[in-house]
Amino acid sequence: MSSPAPTRISRALSAFDHASRRWAAIPLRDTHESEPALFSQKPSSRKHTLSLTTWNLWAYRSRSTAARSELILDHVLKAPKFPDIIFLQEVSSSARRSLLENPRVRSSFLTTDAGDDSAFKGKPIATMTLLSSKRFRSPLLAEEEKVMINGDAKDGGSKLVLDSVFRQELPSRYGRDALCVNIAAPSAPGKVLRLLNVHLESLDSHLRRALQMMILAGLLREPECAGGVIAGDFNALGAEDHALVDKFELLDAWIALHGCTTEPHGGATWGVGIGFEDGQKPRRLDKVVMLGLQPKEIEVLQPGLLDANTPWSDHCGLRCTFNI
């Protein structure tokens, strides 16, 4: 007897309405529709470069969760290269409220999970995705975003067109899922590129992580999909977890750009600068993985300290730029 197909739940992206002082969902295609929205898109040979920052906020460190998330966000937004995409994992309810009240988030980003907190019901943490409103737009509001160039109406700059958002259930003891934002693939009309924000199974759960990776790789190979990015906390605890990227024929941006470094803890994103009593060593738990895209740069972002004994997170962030 076959197991039921994992659940896929449509979600919204919201923009902050300064007039009503509320987050309001922007119009997108319903993910239950059988075909991607076409919106008269013409193929484009133009290369778009996007920057993505991903960070696990360490919600299980109960002290000052909202304050630490604010410090991480402030660090990310003050970076010389302002991110187009922010993936956050281990977002608690208090961190969610803090993010949604942040003036820079309200003025510069579209965000998931602003209209309701259903993704947080019955579990202590979830993922959230933020997208720069300067780089992404709704397909149904495209006519309002025309600009005049030499007297003619042209599409608004280099904005990429959003298609839909959903959460894909994953086999998990902890209620983990993949938060997916579909964007129209500029060079392939009628197809989408997927931005998948993930927090894979924790602890000694390689089998579940393998099943989760199989589902994620499958999402990037569905007929309507032209590729995309999977990024976040992969909980890659051992060699068998790192091998999953190759097993499912995906590209690890760190390995592609830095190689299998022999430096101590090269590319490590967890436990860096933290002295563990049990002698654990730093590990490369977080990744940016791609299919059909080209990474340009990737770097580890070090957390600061809330006080002498409390780092912002037990994870470092990753900042990656890539071409589509």
pLDDT in the model for residue 149: 38
Residue 274 belongs to some domain of the structure = yes
Of 263-267, 278-282, 320-324, which range is least confident? 263-267
pLDDT tens for each residue of 88-121: 999 999 999 999 999 999 999 999 999 999 999 9
Long-range contacts, 270-274 (Cβ 8 Å, 24+): 270/314, 270/315, 270/316, 271/314, 272/300, 272/302, 272/316, 273/302, 273/311, 274/311, 274/314
**CA atoms of 157 and 176, how far apart (whole Å):** 36
Percent of the chain residues topping a pLDDT of 90:
75
Q: Give the residue ranges of DSSP H helices in 131-250.
A: 206-219, 239-247
Structure tokens at 13: 């992206």
Which positions ≥6 away from 98 have C-beta within 8 Å?
Answer: 66, 69, 70
- Domain total in the chain: 1
pLDDT tens for each residue of 67-79: 999 999 999 998 7
Which positions ≥6 away from 309 have C-beta within 8 Å?
Answer: none
Q: Give residue for tokens 């071409």.
A: 323
Residue 297 belongs to some domain of the structure = yes
Structural domain span for residue 314: 50-141+153-323
pLDDT tens for each residue of 274-293: 766 566 889 999 999 999 99
Confidence of residue 309 (pLDDT cuts 50, 70, 90): confident
Which positions ≥6 away from 106 have C-beta within 8 Å?
Answer: 16, 18, 100
CA angle 113, 8, 111 (to 5 degrees): 20
Percent of the chain residues topping a pLDDT of 70:
85
- Residue 306: is its pLDDT beyond 70? yes
Q: Are strands 225-233 and 192-199 parallel, antiparallel or unpaired?
A: parallel
Which residue has better confidence, 238 or 143? 238
Residue 34 belongs to some domain of the structure = no
Residue 277 belongs to some domain of the structure = yes
CATH code of the domain containing 196: 3.60.10.10
pLDDT tens for each residue of 129-145: 999 999 999 987 754 55
User: In 10 A of CB 185, how many CB atoms?
Assistant: 26
- Residue 39: is its pLDDT beyond 60? no
* pTM score: 0.91
Q: Give the residue ranges of DSSP H helices in the chain.
A: 65-77, 93-101, 103-108, 206-219, 239-247, 253-258
Residue 272 burial (10 A CB sphere; 0-12, 13-18, 19+): middle
Residue 64 belongs to some domain of the structure = yes
Q: Are strands 160-169 and 136-137 parallel, antiparallel or unpaired?
A: parallel
- Residue 162: is its pLDDT beyond 90? yes
User: Which conformational region is residue 204 in: left (phi greater than 0), alpha (psi within -120 to 50 degrees), or beta?
Assistant: beta
Residue 6 belongs to some domain of the structure = no
- Residue 31: is its pLDDT beyond 70? no
Residue 45 belongs to some domain of the structure = no
Mean pLDDT in the chain? 89
- Residue 66: is its pLDDT beyond 70? yes
- Residue 207: is its pLDDT beyond 50? yes
Residue 18 belongs to some domain of the structure = no
Question: Residue 291: in which H helix or E strand, if any?
Answer: strand 286-291
Which residue has better confidence, 112 or 34? 112
